[in-house]
Amino acid sequence: MPDVGEGLTEAEILKWYVQPGDTVTDGQVVCEVETAKAAVELPIPFDGTVHALLFEEGTTVDVGQVIISVRTGPAGEEAAPVQEAAPAVAAPAVVAAAVVAAAALAAAEEPAPEGRQPVLVGYGVSTASTKRRPRKAAAAGAAAQNGTATPVAPELPAVPAQPNGTERPLAKPPVRKLAKDLGIDLAAVVPTGDGGVVTREDVHAAAAAAITPQAAAPAQATVAAATAPAPAPASVQAPAAETAARETRIPVKGVRKVTAQAMVGSAFTAPHVTEFITFDVTRTMKLVQELKEDPDLAGLRINPLLLIAKAVLVAIRRNPDVNASWDEAAQEIVLKHYVNLGIAAATPRGLIVPNIKDAHAKTLGELSTALSGLVATARDGKTSPADMQQGTITITNVGVFGVDTGTPILNPGESAILAVGAIKLQPWVHKGKVKPRQVTTLALSFDHRLIDGELGSRFLADIAAVLEHPRRLITWS
């Protein structure tokens, strides 16, 4: 599992595109994984034949773990029986050793071109020089492939000794989190990972061992009850079955997990203020219809959200101080001279907020194209982590669900978020008379450390003013 950056430590395998026996080439996409940021397609950095898929779809894997075995030697050589050696789940170290050995052999037989290392497409060339501890599994696997018994790395014990009380157990952050959630002391866990690293399996084994003694007494009682002359009536047992069927537990992971964490962090870090404004958008709705019929905009998606986004950009130009972020470490306000406009998008994997880079510099047509592409990419689950970084201000359109308004929570690191309510025909006083008009409500939440009440009110009022009289898109630009 490659490190795709952003400090991510694990990813879930969503779909395999290859099977054992398939031929793969350098750069070919072999699987799709979901990180805490987005779904990402992973290309293979080798030419060869797939030996084994070491994890099933739906499995969450730590960064750095081997997920696929590929034979990279000449086509005529007999493939090593990786799958027959041991099941992937039961003995991943054996398979990992074979994979590392195969890669080492291929590198020895066919030297790689200078200046280029096979890496993930789109993530650049790896230049890390971090040295890792020698692994016995890799050394043994390479020796076996070469037909020799000479170790290529210092030999480590097959089962590392349990760390004493003065040493900090070696484990990756996700494993530490798992141990904390299960109430397991890592110092009391016997590590089986390479170099004395505690693995997920070690933590689960420790948890199971702790539960077993407690479960012994109930188990004995169950056996005694089973040998009793008369079993309990079915009517007595029914409520338990019914209770189980009344609840479903859904693991929180991937995008939903990071969204939940981000919202909690944002809600309890940035002091939120939310203001509302209700106004007449009849003229804007008429302009939308006229633009749809304009031959100069043929083929572009024209909708109210497009003009709302343009109104936000105009209002930012008139109130540039709203486009900022808070630097906690330096205790500084960072004014942004660009607008990366976020658009909240509901996807099957959860809510994501990709943003349009440099939206302030785009024409109406360019903004329409960017909006359409952003939404289509999000719905297909292809939004990249880069598309969701460095946003400055976000729009969330709750009106598409028939909702009048809401109090949105800031996207972390941003100064404000605008919730757009449903546009409805309502009685409205227009030119001294009550008439049916198209009316909507906007709700603006902002970080009160960055934006005070006056600035927030002016900004929201300017957005409404542009949408109430859309000619201001020209006169205020």
What is the C-alpha R_g of the chain? 29
164, two tokens: 């004493």
Q: Count CB neighbours of 55 within 10 A.
A: 20
Cα 240–Cα 241–Cα 246 angle in degrees, nearest 5: 95
Q: Count CB neighbours of 375 within 10 A.
A: 15
Q: Which of 51, 272, 430, 448 is catalytic?
A: 448
Buried residues in 91-106 as b, exposed as e (16+ CB within 10 A): ebbbbbbbbbbbbbbb
Q: Which residues have C-beta within 8 Å of that of residue 297, sequence separation ≥ 6?
A: 291, 364, 365, 368
Residue ranges of the alpha helices (H) in 110-189? 136-146, 173-182
Q: Which residues have C-beta within 8 Å of that of residue 181, sequence separation ≥ 6?
A: none
Buried residues in 38-50 as b, exposed as e (16+ CB within 10 A): bbbbbbbbbbbbb
CA distances from 413 to 250, 267, 325, 357 (A): 29, 12, 6, 16
> Is 196:170 a contact under the CB 8 Å cutoff?
yes
Q: Count CB neighbours of 1 within 10 A.
A: 22
Active-site residue flag, 448 = yes
| Cα 159–chain centre separation | 35
Total number of residues shown for the chain: 477
Supply the angle between the helices 92-109 and 136-146 in degrees, to the nearest 10: 50
Question: Which of 461, 353, 367 has its CA nearest to residue 410?
Answer: 353
Residue ranges of the alpha helices (H) in 110-135? none
What's the CA gap between 390 and 399, in Å, rounded? 26
Show which residues are catalytic.
Answer: 448
